[in-house]
Amino acid sequence: MLSIALSELTQIFRNRTVLLTSFVIPIAPSAFFIYRHGLFADLGSLGYIAAMAIFTVAAFGLYTTAVTTLASRRQTLFLKRLRSTPASDAAILVGLMLPVTVLALVQGVVILAALAAVTGAPSSLPLLAAAIVSTMAMMLALGMATAGLTNSPEHAQVTTLPVSLGAIGVATWVGITGTEELTQLKRALPGGSATELILNAWNGGVPVADSLQLLLPTLAWVAVAFALASRMFRWEPRR
């Protein structure tokens, strides 16, 4: 598994397209959010800025890269060759997804650390950590499910748009309007409860027990996405 992960990490730094989607696209808007934090805080809150930064990284740095990576490795028959080795299916997938997941988590932490340095520390670091990890897990699981519908890296530019833009759209909606209205709908949408949890973790003012309940919808999406991935994921190109 580790040898697969190290090989994949090398491939990431050699591929300019992956580097663009993994680093430049998430970092650029996040830097803008931090630079203009006063404007976005007036629009939503500091927690809204944190949520948008995390979902930008999760949607483009993790989700889109995961789909592109799996589609590319399938198209080149690399996945098929890996299955002829002693490594199990789970070890193969973990090895392939570990580098991009770790990079996304590091990006998210660095961006939020920069935000905290500019605006002040979040109200609850443990809640924020739980929100980040659950959000990344959801987007990774959705990425593996989407990879089953994606024939090539070029096709990934189309198949990833609904989920990536949809998740950011939900985060924007919840971050600006809150969940006082249409509460259940907003929390049920992918990213809705995760956004609310980030808002609570950064802004404070909500009991920890109430905030922890917001993990349940996100974890439910993780389970649903992994179930879909187990049905739709393919190891070889369609003939």
pLDDT per residue over 147-191, tens digit each? 989 988 888 889 999 999 999 999 999 999 988 899 999 999 999
Q: How far is CA 78 from CA 8, 145, 232, in A?
A: 11, 19, 18
Residue 230 predicted with pLDDT over 80: yes
Does residue 29 register a pLDDT over 70?
yes
Give pLDDT, residue 45.
Answer: 84
For residue 153, the model assigns a pLDDT of 85
CA 199 to the chain's CA centroid: 17
Which residues does 70 contact at the CB level (< 8 Å), separation at least 6?
Answer: 79, 96, 143, 144, 147, 150, 233
Per cent of the chain over pLDDT 90 is: 52
Give the predicted TM-score (pTM) of the model.
0.91
Q: What is the mean pLDDT of residues 81-97?
A: 89
Closest CA to 166 of 57, 55, 70, 69: 55
Specify the range with the lowest mean pLDDT, choosing from 50-64, 72-86, 164-178, 220-234.
72-86
Say how far apart CA 117 and CA 84 lie, in whole Å.
49
Q: In the structure encoding, which two tokens stand for residue 1, read together?
A: 């598994």
Cβ distance 40 to 52 under 8 Å?
yes
| Whether residue 2 has pLDDT greater than 80 | no
Average pLDDT over residues 26-40: 71
Helices (H) and strands (E) in the chain, counts: 15, 0
| Average pLDDT across the chain, whole number | 88
Residue 234, token pair as written in the block:
């393919």
- 110, HSE (Cβ side, Cα atoms, 13 Å): 12
Is the pLDDT reported for residue 88 higher than 80? yes
More confident call, 19 vs 162: 162
Here the tokens at position 184 are 């259940």
